[in-house]
């Protein structure tokens, strides 16, 4: 069985500030990890994925995430928030045929 926990259902940052969205997972097998973004009234779009090649993964729109096995974490970061980053972000773990999502974190960016 696998599970994903995203700490903080809502995160608010100022434009230009660091974005940090937290994700912890549990998995009985080596996981594949993903971050997806959902803009209002749209489907989910892949931001980045970890597939065991490198622990620091760079994605689209300046986001990156670091896989830390010892902490079972895969936190998402961006050095400088932009207004267009306001959206809901989902961390997901895939093992075999099951893709399990966290509860989501809504990111708000203040001008």
Examine residue 74 and tell whether it contacts another protein (CB under 8 A).
no
Nearest residue (CB) to another protein, 17 versus 95: 95
Strands 56-58 and 98-101: unpaired
Cα Rg of the chain (Å, integer) = 13
Q: How far is the CB of 17 from another protein (least distance, A)?
A: 25
Residues 2-41 that bind another protein (CB under 8 A): 4, 6, 9, 32, 34, 36, 41
Using CB under 8 A, which of the segments 58-66, 67-75, 77-85, 95-103 binds another protein?
Answer: 95-103
Q: How far is the CB of 16 from another protein (least distance, A)?
A: 29
* Coil, helix or strand at residue 78: strand
Nearest residue (CB) to another protein, 7 versus 101: 101
Phi, psi of 58 (to 5 degrees): -100, 140
d(CA 31, CA 25): 9
List CB contacts of 3: < 8 A, sequence separation 6 or more: 25, 26, 93, 100
Interface residues with another protein (CB under 8 A) are 4, 6, 9, 32, 34, 36, 41-46, 49, 51, 90, 92, 94-104
């Amino acid at each position: 069985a696998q599970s994903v926990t995203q700490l903080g259902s809502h995160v608010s940052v100022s434009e230009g500030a660091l974005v940090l969205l937290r994700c912890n997972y549990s998995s009985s097998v080596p996981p594949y990890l993903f971050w997806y973004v959902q803009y209002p009234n749209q489907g989910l779009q892949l931001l980045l994925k970890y597939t065991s090649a490198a622990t620091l993964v760079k994605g689209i729109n300046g986001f990156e995430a670091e896989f830390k096995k010892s902490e079972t974490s895969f936190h998402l970061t961006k050095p400088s928030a932009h207004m267009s980053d306001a959206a809901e972000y989902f961390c997901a773990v895939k093992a075999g045929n099951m893709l399990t999502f966290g509860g989501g974190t809504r990111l708000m960016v203040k001008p």
